[in-house]
């Protein structure tokens, strides 16, 4: 039986950096993945493919808006979707091959394609081969969660795992759910001319995101012609590709929609079935493997990172956890993860970025906070770009004055998220931010201007 210092199951943004880091320390490492190549869902069916297609859709939409900037484009705008898909395939392959080349430079790291199942506390089976290990990291990611809807059409509906493989731009799509994945995709396809409809069981879209910012995105969707049906109870999905019937109830009334395509985006489920976790005493549920704040599972020598764990599910969070797990396995003093410093970007239009706590998070913790805002409609850069829908929010703990959270709504919120992350991670106050000199005219000036406004309000009280 072959034995390793560390076995890592899953080669996504959590598993791959964990395996490489351990190998750099000279440990013998086996990295196991069903695909047989690194990248995970983020690379193959998630954030990378979606951003490639979204980038094309956004630039295509810019052509239609050229007149706003006094530009006359003669002729009809065209998008060559087949070329966009080919670019997606090439970039995904390039990134996977790049990771493979990096791993080849680490002689103590072995990658193996196959399905891993724990057979004991220090052994697992990989497609019939028994493997021994001292430590293990579970990094198997998550899958699209499809609720047990009634109807023959459920099995034929799209999820994010297969929609990016479509060779033609769909004429019409009905989206089930209005979370992050759905809202990004619906705006992307709408810009490409697809007729889009959302069926959402809640009272608004993006229920886990700052309500004020989410409602502004929701209104923009409606203005763009996207149909949004809220407070929906989905009854059944019947039919097959090209000919679906969706039945639902809304406010006590029954409705039926005929649609050629259905995309289910109703959340994520941890990819933990079939690993044999129950046999070795590792606790888990649909939401993920249960870990402590050092990422140890209920078996002290087995850790878990990324989307397969209970909690937030982001690629960069998985990579951050990977580094923490490797440190905690091999360093004498353990580190704990710090979810209050997590930042993320939602690539809707406009984008939403967040670092640290939202106002709702603070209220759940009974924190005494104040919320300060800066409206981009007064901003020079926003006026120049003719993109004035947006705002910057600081969530400030009253007693300490520390900025514990920042939310941004902007066409380019992703470019502002780095500064927001640094402010929150370093527990800065408005006075600290005000001392930073921001270049003009840029949207980053908003951080300084909001801090100045906060300072002036404080001075007025004294």
What are the pLDDT digits (tens) for 57-75? 887 777 777 677 666 676 6
Domain extent, residue 418, equals 340-461
Cis peptide leading into residue 394 (ω within 30°) = no
Assess if residue 311 is contained within a domain: yes
Q: In degrees rounded to 5, what are phi and psi of residue 369?
A: -130, 160
Q: Which residues is 227 bridged to in the sheet?
A: 197
Assess if residue 117 is contained within a domain: yes
The 3-state secondary structure of 251-281 reads: CCEEEEEEECCEEECCCEEECCCCCCHHHHC
Whether residue 6 sits in one domain with residue 139: yes
Domain ends where: 238, 266, 294? 266
Whether residue 417 sits in one domain with residue 398: yes
Rounded distance between C-alpha atoms, residue 275 and residue 359, angstroms: 38
Whether residue 30 sits in one domain with residue 7: yes
Q: What is the pLDDT of residue 375?
A: 94
Whether residue 358 sits in one domain with residue 306: no
Q: What is the pLDDT of residues 416-431, one digit of tens each?
A: 999 999 999 999 999 9
First-to-last C-alpha distance (Å) of the chain: 74
Assess if residue 149 is contained within a domain: no
Domain ends where: 237, 266, 295? 266
Q: What is the pLDDT of residue 348?
A: 95
| Token reading at 306 | 């990324």
Assess if residue 148 is contained within a domain: no
In the 8-state DSSP scheme, what is residue 413? H
Contact criterion met (CB below 8 Å) for 253 and 125: no
Whether residue 248 sits in one domain with residue 289: no
Q: In degrees rounded to 5, what are phi and psi of residue 405?
A: -160, 150
Domain ends where: 266, 282, 315? 266
Whether residue 238 sits in one domain with residue 318: no
Whether residue 134 sits in one domain with residue 275: yes
Active site residues per annotation: 440
Task: Say which CATH number the domain at 83 has.
Answer: 3.50.50.60
**How many domains is the chain built from?**
3
Q: What is the pLDDT of residue 462?
A: 61
Rounded distance between C-alpha atoms, residue 273 and residue 294, angstroms: 23
Whether residue 359 sits in one domain with residue 332: no
pTM of the model: 0.90
Contact criterion met (CB below 8 Å) for 158 and 148: no
Beta-strand runs (E) in 357-390:
369-375
User: How do 243-250 and 253-259 pair as beta strands?
Assistant: antiparallel
Whether residue 131 sits in one domain with residue 74: yes
Q: What is the pLDDT of residues 203-234, one digit of tens each?
A: 999 999 999 999 999 999 999 999 999 999 99
Q: Please, what is the average pLDDT of the chain?
A: 91
Nearest CA to 325 among 361, 355, 289?
Answer: 289
């Amino acid at each position: 039986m072959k034995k390793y210092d560390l076995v890592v199951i899953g080669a996504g943004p959590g598993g791959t950096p964990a395996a490489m880091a351990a190998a750099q320390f000279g440990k013998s490492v086996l990295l196991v993945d069903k695909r047989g190549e690194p990248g995970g869902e983020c690379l193959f069916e998630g954030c990378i493919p979606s951003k490639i297609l979204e980038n094309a859709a956004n630039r295509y939409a810019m052509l239609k808006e050229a007149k706003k900037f006094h530009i006359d484009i003669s002729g009809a705008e065209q998008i060559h979707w087949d070329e966009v898909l080919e670019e997606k395939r090439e970039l995904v392959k390039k990134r996977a091959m790049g990771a493979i080349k990096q791993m080849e430079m680490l002689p103590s790291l072995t990658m193996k394609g196959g399905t891993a199942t724990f057979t004991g506390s220090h052994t697992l089976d990989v497609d019939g081969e028994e493997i021994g290990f001292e430590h293990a990291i579970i990094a198997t990611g998550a899958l699209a969660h499809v609720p047990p809807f009634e109807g023959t059409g459920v099995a034929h509906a799209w999820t994010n795992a297969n929609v990016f493989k479509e060779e033609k731009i769909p004429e019409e799509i009905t989206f089930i759910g209005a979370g992050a994945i759905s809202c990004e995709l619906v705006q992307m396809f709408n810009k490409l001319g697809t007729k889009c409809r959302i069926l959402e069981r809640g009272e608004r879209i993006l229920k886990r995101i700052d309500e004020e910012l989410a409602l502004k995105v929701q209104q923009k969707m409606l203005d763009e012609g996207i149909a949004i049906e809220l407070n929906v109870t989905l009854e059944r999905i019947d039919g097959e590709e090209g000919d679906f019937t969706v039945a639902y109830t809304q406010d006590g009334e029954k409705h039926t929609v005929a649609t050629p395509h259905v995309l289910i985006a109703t959340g994520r489920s941890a990819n933990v079935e079939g690993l044999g976790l129950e046999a070795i005493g590792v606790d888990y549920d649909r939401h993920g493997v249960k870990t402590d704040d050092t990422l140890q599972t209920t078996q002290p020598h087995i850790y878990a990172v990324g989307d397969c764990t209970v909690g937030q599910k982001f690629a960069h969070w998985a990579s951050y956890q990977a580094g923490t797990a490797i440190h905690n396995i091999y360093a004498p003093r353990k580190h704990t993860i710090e979810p209050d410093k997590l930042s993320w970007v939602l690539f809707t239009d406009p984008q939403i970025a967040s670092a640290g706590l939202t106002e709702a998070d603070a209220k759940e913790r009974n924190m005494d906070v104040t919320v300060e805002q800066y409206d981009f409609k007064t901003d020079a850069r926003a006026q120049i770009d003719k993109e004035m829908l947006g705002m910057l929010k600081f969530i400030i703990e009253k007693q300490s004055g520390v900025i514990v959270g920042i939310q941004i709504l902007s066409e380019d919120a992703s470019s502002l998220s780095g500064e927001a992350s640094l402010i929150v991670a370093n527990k800065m106050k408005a006075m600290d931010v005000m001392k930073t000199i921001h270049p003009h005219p840029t949207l980053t000036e908003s951080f300084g201007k909001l801090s100045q406004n906060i300072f002036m309000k404080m001075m007025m009280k004294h």
